């Protein structure tokens, strides 16, 4: 029995693949679970049409994400934090702080997309990567400055 896989099936193939399976496996497992459809000419044409629609949407999303990456890379962010001697911070600058600073610039970024090996614990300038898509990343410059303290 020939089937078109609607999803990735471990040990069988990836989405969109046309594979030969045993009749019982196809009728009793793949078709009832909506993992595949029978490979008729009608289904092949319909699947190709749906695949083209998905690919055009993916291209649009990728283009807009690349534009966003350019906007983010042009940013330079300044974060003020209290620090002690030798520039060590009281606490640290985390991904949430960086996401908030980017939001103040008018761009909303999920803090989970910001890649920090470890929290920033000293004053200085850092280059931080933001992973927008699997292969689209943007780099933003983050400057951590001494916060002005009000001494009485």
Looking at the structure, tell me whether residues 18 and 50 fall in a common domain. yes
pLDDT at 149: 66
Q: Report the alpha-carbon distance of residue 124 to residue 144 in Å, rounded.
A: 5
Whether residue 74 is found in the same domain as residue 60: no
Residue 98: domain span: 69-146
Q: What is the pTM of this model?
A: 0.66
- E strand or H helix at 36: strand 36-38
Rounded-to-integer distance, Cα 93 and Cα 99, Å? 11
Q: Tell whether 73 and 109 lie within a shared domain.
A: yes
Residue-by-residue pLDDT tens, the chain, 152 positions: 999 888 888 889 888 888 999 999 999 999 999 999 998 889 888 888 888 888 899 899 899 999 999 999 998 899 998 888 888 888 899 999 999 999 998 899 999 999 998 889 999 999 999 998 888 899 999 999 988 764 54
Q: Answer whether residue 133 is part of any domain.
A: yes
């Amino acid at each position: 029995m020939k089937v078109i896989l609607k999803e990735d099936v471990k040990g069988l193939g990836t989405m969109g693949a046309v594979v030969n399976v045993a009749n019982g496996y196809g009728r009793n497992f793949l078709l009832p679970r909506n993992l595949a459809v029978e490979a008729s000419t009608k289904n092949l044409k319909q699947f190709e049409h749906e695949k083209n629609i998905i690919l055009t949407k993916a291209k649009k999303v990728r283009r807009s994400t690349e534009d966003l990456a350019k906007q983010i890379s042009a940013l330079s962010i300044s974060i003020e934090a209290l620090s002690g001697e030798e520039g060590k911070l009281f606490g640290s600058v985390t991904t949430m702080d960086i996401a908030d600073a980017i939001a103040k610039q008018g761009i909303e970024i999920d803090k989970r997309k910001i890649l920090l090996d470890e929290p920033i614990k000293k004053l200085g300038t850092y280059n931080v990567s933001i992973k927008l898509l699997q292969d689209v990343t943007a780099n933003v410059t983050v400057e951590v400055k001494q916060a002005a303290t009000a001494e009485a």
